[in-house]
C-alpha cells in the first residue's frame, strides 16, 4: 500500500449516538421494495450469486440493479459495461474544482450519488436512502472493506449484500480478471468491442513494457512523498508493481519494510537510500507532487530528479484493461527514454 493509506485523515462519527434517524425507520420512509424501480430495466435478471475473495458467497433472487461501490471499483465495472446499475459511490470522486478525481476513470460522476468523497466520510443515511442491493469494494487487507469505515461498518453491511475483491498481493492482471468475472455475473458482455479493444490495448502495452525493460535496464523506484516522510514502495505486494516486475522492470525492493509490507518509510534526510534511475511517483491528490517536493533539499539531490526521470504512478490503479493500459504505456515510454542516472 502506498503513502496516503498510511496517513489516516481525522476520524469523525457518521451517526451520532442516539441522535441519528434509525436505519429501519429511514428505509421505511424511503419506502418500498428494493426490487422495484431498478436502475436498468434491460439488465440481466434472475437468480444471482458471486463468491468474493473473502470466500463469501453473496446471493440474491435477482441480479443487483442498485449497486453502490468504491469509486475506483465502480469505474472498473463501468469499463466492463456495468453502468446504469451503479447508483452510488464512495471514495475520491470529485476534486475541489468539481472535476472527476482520476480514480473515477470514465464514470459519469454527476450521474451517481456520492456517499462520501474522502476516507471516513461514508454517509450511512444517504447509503440507506439509495436502497442498495449490493456494495462492492476493494480489499487491501484480508477481510477489510476498502473505504468502509470500521466505526460504522456494522450499520452499513446489513443494508445490502457485500462483495470484496483482493487488490494486493496478487498481480494486476489477476485482479482485472476477477473484476471481469464480477461484471459478467452482473450482466456485462465481455465480448463487447469496448471490452475486447481495451484488452488488446492492455496486452500490446504489456508487450511494449517487457521490450522496454529488456532494452533499457534501468532501476526504478516506486515512491510517494509526504511532508515528513519519503516512502519507498514494495513491488512484492502492490498489484501493479508485481505485474511490472513480472514483465522485467527492475523495480527496487526496500529492505526494511514497515508493518503491513507495503512500503519503507524514510526520513527526508535518508531519501537517497535507494539509488534509482527512474522514480515512479505516486500521483494521488493526497501526496506531494514535484512542484511541492522541490522545497525538499534532499529531493533535488536524487539522481532520478537531477536527470528529470520522474513519471507519474497511479498507485491505486483502476482494475480493468481500459484503466491499466494507459498506465503501462506511460511506464514503458518513461523507461524507453531513460538513461542510467547513477
Residue 326's nearest CA partner among 214, 222, 201 is 201
User: Does residue 224 have a pLDDT over 50?
Assistant: yes
Measured distance CA(201)–CA(195) in Å, rounded:
10
Q: What is the pLDDT of residues 155-196, one digit of tens each?
A: 999 999 999 999 999 999 999 999 999 999 999 999 999 999
pLDDT above 90 as % of the chain: 81
- Please tell me the predicted confidence (pLDDT) of residue 93: 95
Stronger pLDDT, 83 or 25, i.e. the higher one: 83
Cβ of 48: how many Cβ atoms within 10 Å? 19
What Cα–Cα distance (Å) separates residue 331 from each residue in 162, 228, 323, 328?
A: 34, 27, 14, 5
Confidence label for 44 from pLDDT (cuts 50, 70 and 90):
low
- What's the pTM value of the predicted model, to 2 decimals? 0.85
| Residue from 117, 126, 80, 72 nearest 98 by CA | 117
Domain map of the chain by residue range? 22-189, 197-336
CATH topology of domain 197-336: Rossmann fold (3.40.50)
Work out the pLDDT band at 39, boundaries 50, 70, 90.
very low
Which CATH topology does 22-189 take? Rossmann fold (3.40.50)
d(CA 180, CA 191): 11
Equal CATH topology for 22-189 and 197-336: yes
User: Is it the case that residue 16 has pLDDT exceeding 90?
Assistant: no
Amino acid at each position: 500500500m502506498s503513502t496516503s493509506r498510511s496517513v489516516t485523515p481525522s476520524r469523525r462519527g457518521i451517526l451520532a449516538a442516539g441522535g441519528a434517524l434509525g436505519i429501519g425507520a429511514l428505509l421505511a420512509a424511503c419506502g418500498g421494495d428494493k426490487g422495484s424501480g431498478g436502475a436498468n430495466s434491460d439488465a440481466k435478471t434472475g437468480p444471482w450469486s458471486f463468491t468474493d475473495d473473502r470466500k463469501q458467497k453473496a446471493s440474491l433472487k435477482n441480479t443487483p440493479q442498485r449497486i453502490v461501490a468504491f469509486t475506483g471499483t465502480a469505474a472498473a465495472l463501468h469499463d466492463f459495461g456495468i453502468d446504469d446499475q451503479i447508483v452510488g459511490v464512495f471514495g475520491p470522486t470529485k476534486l475541489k474544482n468539481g472535476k472527476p478525481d482520476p480514480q473515477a476513470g470514465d464514470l459519469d460522476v454527476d450521474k451517481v450519488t456520492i456517499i462520501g468523497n474522502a476516507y471516513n466520510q461514508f454517509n450511512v443515511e444517504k447509503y440507506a436512502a439509495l436502497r442498495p442491493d449490493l456494495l462492492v469494494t476493494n480489499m487491501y487487507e484480508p477481510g477489510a472493506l476498502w473505504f468502509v469505515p470500521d466505526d460504522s461498518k456494522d450499520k452499513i453491511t446489513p443494508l445490502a449484500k457485500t462483495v470484496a475483491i483482493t487488490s494486493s498481493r496478487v498481480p494486476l492482471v489477476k485482479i482485472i480478471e476477477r473484476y471481469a468475472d464480477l461484471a459478467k455475473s452482473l450482466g456485462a458482455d465481455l465480448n463487447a468491442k469496448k471490452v475486447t479493444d481495451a484488452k488488446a490495448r492492455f496486452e500490446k502495452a504489456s508487450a511494449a513494457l517487457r521490450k522496454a525493460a529488456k532494452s533499457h535496464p534501468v532501476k526504478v523506484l516506486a515512491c510517494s512523498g509526504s511532508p515528513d516522510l519519503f516512502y519507498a514502495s514494495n513491488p512484492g505486494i502492490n498489484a501493479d508493481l508485481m505485474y511490472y516486475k513480472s514483465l522485467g522492470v527492475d523495480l527496487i525492493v526496500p529492505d526494511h519494510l514497515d508493518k503491513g509490507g507495503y512500503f519503507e518509510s524514510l526520513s527526508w534526510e535518508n531519501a537517497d537510500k535507494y539509488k534509482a534511475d527512474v522514480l515512479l511517483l505516486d500521483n494521488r491528490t493526497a501526496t506531494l507532487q514535484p512542484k511541492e517536493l522541490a522545497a525538499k533539499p534532499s529531493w533535488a539531490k536524487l539522481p532520478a530528479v537531477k536527470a528529470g526521470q520522474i513519471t507519474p504512478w497511479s498507485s491505486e490503479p483502476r482494475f480493468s484493461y481500459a484503466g491499466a493500459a494507459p498506465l503501462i504505456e506511460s511506464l514503458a515510454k518513461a523507461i524507453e527514454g531513460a538513461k542510467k542516472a547513477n
